[in-house]
């Protein structure tokens, strides 16, 4: 179904006797006039007597659908303004709606499999929800929704997304705190001025059942409403794991494609899952057991999430290249976790079916609320022969969070390696839980920024930008047992304020419309309180500083139908927080690490029937310096940073409406801890697709892990989660 608003109006004259064929015939003509097959017919059409008739011009607008866009995105707003990818002096990956559709991705995590240099974590640091690493740096605080911070801990869906933009490298000038390895920006679907609807149903192995609907209705001249809904229920190849979620997302837009555009949107997602903490390590490797063995407790474990996001936006176009856009968003996130992570008994030297596995309690919850105002003004002006594309913006952000630990006086029952018993007889009083260790967090951010893209000549462009953030956080935690013994009562308060400048600059050389070469520099910062936490040390610790230096090239091939990019980069954290036992009141910022790497990406159409999307990243990451006496991690590889990742996905259209496709993803060895003693082996996974498309419906079969490879994708210091076993999903979609 259509996923982007209409683009170019096509004008031509036509006699009265064929007016009845419009608008459908005109739209088909507009499309075929640009195709190679139509060129041979054009001369004869222009010389017929029909062309001599002169009538009023008819405007025909062609709607760009996900099929016409394919895998090759031309523009992105990840840089705050609509830009061609060739005009961004950083590496950018755009995962389009068609690519998401063809691979049958049903979560943000699944969509991100297409991004080179990106890997997955497994409950790192007690977190739940989406947790990924890019270029060796965690993106925990670097997930965005339509350019606004979406930091909460939850598992994000894909049903309401038009595309996913991944901007690599430091980007605090655009987004504020964080963004060492880059940012992930989710782009939601918007109402369009075309009545188009699509409903789909997917069934699959492991009792997979998913239904979605994407409904767009024009209500007036410039008014439309769009509604996306989703319901998913699924078991897993892991015996006892279950996922259940539903969501809806209505959006009302008026003044669409006019000088004054308004929209009101709401997003609601609820999930109730049996979470999976995988298997423990033994001798530095994942415990060698069948991947379907689940060591949790299916009749007791749960992870609930409730996300509600309300957004209002207004855009005023003063001129074709001058606009003011203002967005206001209220987001509320609630979550609760009661689960277990498997651990071998300390000192275990051999494994048998009777070896004891402890079930370590993972039990916590939280409620987070954010209110964000973001206003951007951009325009194009000239000073002499130099053209300036200016961006000025202001962001106001208020964040409130409450977190707690769920406790019980009843211990978790143990299990064994060979008999995991996911449905266990629970001890008396097991489900009596108490919320303990409450803490609260409040933060206010004022960020203002400015950027100028100077077109010095038609071939040379210079980007300069800066941002200032005033970040103030207050944190209250419950007292420790030692503090209580000292007579401290009530919550213990902490506070910290950071005022930081961030910079972004790049030089672009474009000798032709098909070539773009750039060199860029960007900085970012990570304040001590950025992830809703402070303690005795971090309250006295200034922000970490990061920078990214990048040299890259972007080429358009095959008359622009295929895009190829490459990037040589160095990402550094120059003063990383480290604990030094000799400094009890402050974290030392003498730690340093870096990632050097090179990336390649190919997207688009090789022929009109053959599409491809692929990426390859080679990374060398290292801990360069440690703080004080803490040298155990020196010259080790950072957690979850493989030496390479690679992926290719390709489809080909056959005659009669058939399409076939397939591809692989490959990930090198990764370490689960800073000492590099626990590791997840390298792996290669293959997927495949067969689809039949008719005018009104489509039938699609997706196969995942086609060769049933045993592999591990989510890693953490104490456990690792297996990737999916061989599975299949059959989807039926109907357009109306």
The mean-pLDDT minimum among 15-29, 199-213, 336-350, 372-386 falls in 15-29
- Mean pLDDT value across residues 542-563: 95
- Provide the sign of the torsion angle of the four alpha carbons 577, 536, 124, 127, taken in this order: negative
- pLDDT (tens digit per residue) in 429-487: 898 899 998 999 999 999 999 999 999 999 999 999 999 999 999 999 888 878 788 88
Is residue 89 a contact partner of residue 520, using CB atoms and an 8 Å limit?
yes
Q: What is the pLDDT of residue 65?
A: 72
Per-position b or e across 35-74, b if 16+ CB within 10 A of its CB: eeeeeeeeeeeeeeeeeeeeeeeeebbbbbbbeebbbbbb
Kindly state whether residues 333 and 193 are assigned to the same domain. Answer: yes
The mean-pLDDT minimum among 26-30, 293-297, 653-657 falls in 26-30
pLDDT tier at 126 (50, 70, 90 boundaries)? Answer: low
Query: Can you tell me the distance from the alpha carbon of 119 to that of 713, in angstroms, rounded to the nearest whole number?
Result: 8
Is residue 693 a contact partner of residue 659, using CB atoms and an 8 Å limit?
yes
Kindly state whether residues 358 and 497 are assigned to the same domain. Answer: yes
- Over 70: is that where the pLDDT of 368 sits? yes
Q: Is the residue at 176 inside a domain?
A: no
- Over 90: is that where the pLDDT of 113 sits? yes
Q: What is the pLDDT of residue 590?
A: 65
Per-position b or e across 82-96, b if 16+ CB within 10 A of its CB: ebebbbbbbbbbbbb
Is residue 92 a contact partner of residue 73, using CB atoms and an 8 Å limit?
no
Which residue intervals of 105-233 are DSSP H helices? 108-111, 172-175
CB atoms within 10 A of CB 390: 17
Residue 454's nearest CA partner among 385, 386, 380, 381 is 386
pLDDT tier at 122 (50, 70, 90 boundaries)? Answer: confident
Query: Can you tell me the distance from the alpha carbon of 289 to that of 183, in angstroms, rounded to the nearest whole number?
Result: 36
CATH code at 447?
2.40.170.20
Is residue 108 a contact partner of residue 98, using CB atoms and an 8 Å limit?
no
Per 3-state DSSP, the chain is made up of helix, strand and coil in percentages (nearest 5) of: 10, 55, 35
Q: Is the residue at 711 inside a domain?
A: yes
Helix or strand holding residue 482 (H, E): helix 481-485
DSSP secondary structure, 227-252, as one string: EEEEEEEE--SSTT-BEEEEEEEEEE
CA dihedral 267, 268, 273, 276 (to 10 degrees): 20
Q: What is the pLDDT of residue 627?
A: 60
Q: Is the residue at 680 inside a domain?
A: yes
* Residue range of the domain that includes 273: 188-735
pLDDT tier at 124 (50, 70, 90 boundaries)? Answer: low
Q: What is the pLDDT of residue 23?
A: 34
Q: What are phi and psi of 423, to 5 degrees?
A: -105, 95
Kindly state whether residues 53 and 199 are assigned to the same domain. Answer: no
Q: What is the pLDDT of residue 63?
A: 54
How far apart, in Å, are the Cα atoms of 229 and each of 150, 248, 435? 20, 4, 34
Q: What is the pLDDT of residue 34?
A: 35
Q: Is the residue at 219 inside a domain?
A: yes
Q: Is the residue at 153 inside a domain?
A: no
Kindly state whether residues 56 and 193 are assigned to the same domain. Answer: no
Q: Is the residue at 171 inside a domain?
A: no
Is residue 377 a contact partner of residue 340, using CB atoms and an 8 Å limit?
no
CA 64 from centroid of its chain's CA atoms? 23
Q: What is the pLDDT of residue 386?
A: 97
Query: Can you tell me the distance from the alpha carbon of 312 to that of 396, in angstroms, rounded to the nearest whole number?
Result: 15
Q: What is the pLDDT of residue 55?
A: 42
- Over 50: is that where the pLDDT of 12 sits? no
- Mean pLDDT value across residues 696-706: 97
> Which neighbouring-strand residues pair with 286?
281
Query: Can you tell me the distance from the alpha carbon of 278 to that of 719, in angstroms, rounded to the nearest whole number?
Result: 6
How far apart, in Å, are the Cα atoms of 416 and each of 137, 143, 203, 344, 426? 35, 38, 33, 9, 16
- Over 60: is that where the pLDDT of 4 sits? no
Q: Is the residue at 97 inside a domain?
A: no
- pLDDT (tens digit per residue) in 150-168: 988 899 999 999 999 999 9
pTM of the model as a whole? 0.88
Which pair of tokens denotes residue 207?
């009792």
- pLDDT (tens digit per residue) in 615-663: 999 999 999 987 655 678 889 999 999 999 999 999 999 999 999 999 9
| 515 contact partners, CB below 8 Å, separation of at least 6 | 553, 554, 555, 556
Kindly state whether residues 673 and 528 are assigned to the same domain. Answer: yes
Is residue 316 a contact partner of residue 335, using CB atoms and an 8 Å limit?
no
DSSP helix/strand/coil, 173: helix
| 661 contact partners, CB below 8 Å, separation of at least 6 | 102, 649, 650, 651, 652, 688, 689, 690, 691
How far apart, in Å, are the Cα atoms of 456 and each of 40, 514, 520? 40, 19, 17
Q: Which of 45, 64, 83 is the last residue of a domain?
A: 64
- Mean pLDDT value across residues 589-613: 93
CB atoms within 10 A of CB 513: 10
Q: Is the residue at 271 inside a domain?
A: yes
Quote the mean pLDDT of the chain.
88
Which pair of tokens denotes residue 10?
């096509």
Kindly state whether residues 60 and 204 are assigned to the same domain. Answer: no
Query: Can you tell me the distance from the alpha carbon of 201 to that of 318, in angstroms, rounded to the nearest whole number?
Result: 44
Q: Which of 64, 80, 96 is the last residue of a domain?
A: 64
Q: Which of 19, 47, 64 is the last residue of a domain?
A: 64
**Count of structural domains within the chain:** 2
Q: What is the pLDDT of residue 632?
A: 82
Query: Can you tell me the distance from the alpha carbon of 221 to that of 314, in angstroms, rounded to the nearest whole number?
Result: 18
């Amino acid at each position: 179904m259509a996923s982007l608003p209409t683009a170019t109006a096509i004008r031509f004259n036509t006699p009265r006797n064929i007016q009845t064929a419009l608008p459908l015939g005109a739209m088909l003509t507009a499309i075929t006039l640009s195709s190679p097959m139509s060129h041979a017919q054009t001369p004869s059409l222009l010389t017929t007597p029909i062309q001599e008739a002169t009538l009023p011009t008819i405007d025909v607008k062609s709607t760009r659908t996900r099929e016409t866009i394919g895998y090759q995105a031309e523009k992105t707003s990840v840089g705050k303004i609509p830009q061609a990818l060739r005009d961004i002096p950083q590496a950018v990956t755009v995962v389009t709606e068609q690519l998401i559709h063809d691979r049958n991705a049903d979560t943000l995590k699944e969509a991100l499999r297409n991004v080179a240099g990106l890997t997955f974590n497994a409950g790192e640091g007690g977190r739940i929800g989406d947790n990924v690493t890019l270029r060796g740096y965690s993106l925990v605080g670097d997930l965005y929704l339509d350019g606004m911070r979406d930091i909460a801990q939850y598992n994000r869906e894909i049903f309401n997304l038009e595309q996913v933009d991944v901007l690599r490298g430091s980007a605090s000038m655009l987004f504020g705190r964080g963004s060492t390895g880059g940012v992930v920006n989710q782009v939601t679907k918007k109402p369009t001025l075309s009545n188009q609807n699509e409903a789909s149903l997917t069934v699959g192995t492991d009792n997979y059942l998913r239904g979605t609907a994407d409904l767009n209705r024009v209500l007036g001249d410039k008014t439309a409403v769009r509604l996306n809904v989703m319901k998913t229920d699924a078991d897993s190849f892991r015996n006892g794991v279950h996922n259940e979620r539903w969501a809806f997302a209505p959006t009302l837009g008026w003044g669409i494609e006019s000088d004054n555009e308004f929209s009101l949107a709401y997003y609601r997602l609820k999930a109730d899952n049996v979470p999976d903490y995988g298997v423990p390590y033994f001798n530095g490797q994942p415990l060698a057991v069948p991947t379907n063995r689940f060591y949790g407790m299916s009749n007791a474990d749960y992870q609930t999430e409730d996300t509600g996001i309300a957004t209002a936006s207004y855009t005023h176009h003063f001129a074709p290249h001058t606009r003011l856009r203002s967005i206001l968003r209220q987001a509320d996130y609630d979550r609760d976790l009661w689960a277990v992570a498997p651990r071998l008994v300390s000192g275990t030297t051999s494994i048998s079916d009777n070896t004891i596995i402890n079930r370590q309690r993972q039990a916590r919850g939280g409620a987070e609320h954010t209110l964000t105002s973001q206003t951007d003004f951009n325009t194009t002006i000239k000073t002499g022969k130099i053209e300036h594309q200016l961006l000025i913006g202001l962001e106001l952000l208020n964040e409130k969070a409450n977190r707690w630990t769920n406790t019980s006086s009843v211990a978790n029952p143990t299990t064994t390696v060979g008999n995991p018993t996911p449905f266990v007889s629970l001890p008396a009083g097991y489900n009596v839980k108490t919320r303990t260790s409450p803490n609260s967090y409040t933060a206010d951010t004022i960020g203002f920024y400015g950027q100028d893209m100077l077109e010095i000549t038609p071939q040379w462009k210079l980007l300069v930008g800066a941002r200032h953030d005033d970040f103030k956080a207050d944190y209250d935690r419950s007292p420790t047992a030692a503090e209580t013994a000292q007579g401290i009562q009530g919550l213990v308060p902490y506070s910290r304020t950071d005022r930081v400048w961030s910079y972004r600059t790049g030089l672009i050389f474009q000798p032709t419309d098909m070539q773009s070469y750039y060199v860029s520099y960007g900085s970012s910062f990570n304040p001590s309180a950025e992830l809703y936490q402070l303690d005795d040390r971090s309250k006295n610790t200034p922000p970490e500083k990061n920078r990214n230096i990048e040299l890259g090239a972007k080429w358009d091939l095959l008359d622009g139908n295929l895009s190829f990019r490459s990037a040589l980069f160095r990402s550094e954290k120059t003063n990383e927080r480290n604990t030094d036992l000799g400094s009890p009141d402050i974290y030392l910022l003498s730690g340093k690490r870096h990632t050097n790497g090179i990336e390649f990406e190919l997207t688009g159409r090789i022929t009109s029937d053959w599409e491809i999307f692929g990426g390859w990243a080679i990374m060398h990451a290292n801990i360069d310096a440690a703080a004080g006496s803490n040298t155990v991690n020196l010259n080790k590889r950072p957690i979850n940073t493989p030496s390479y990742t690679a992926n290719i996905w390709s489809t080909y259209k056959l005659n009669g409406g058939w399409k076939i496709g397939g591809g692989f993803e490959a990930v090198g060895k990764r370490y689960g801890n800073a000492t590099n003693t626990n590791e997840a082996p390298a792996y290669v996974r293959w997927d495949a697709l067969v689809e039949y498309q008719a005018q009104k419906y489509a039938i699609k079969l997706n196969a995942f892990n086609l060769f049933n490879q045993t592999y591990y994708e989510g890693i953490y210091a104490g456990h690792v989660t297996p990737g999916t076993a061989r599975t299949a999903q059959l989807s039926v979609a109907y357009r109306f």
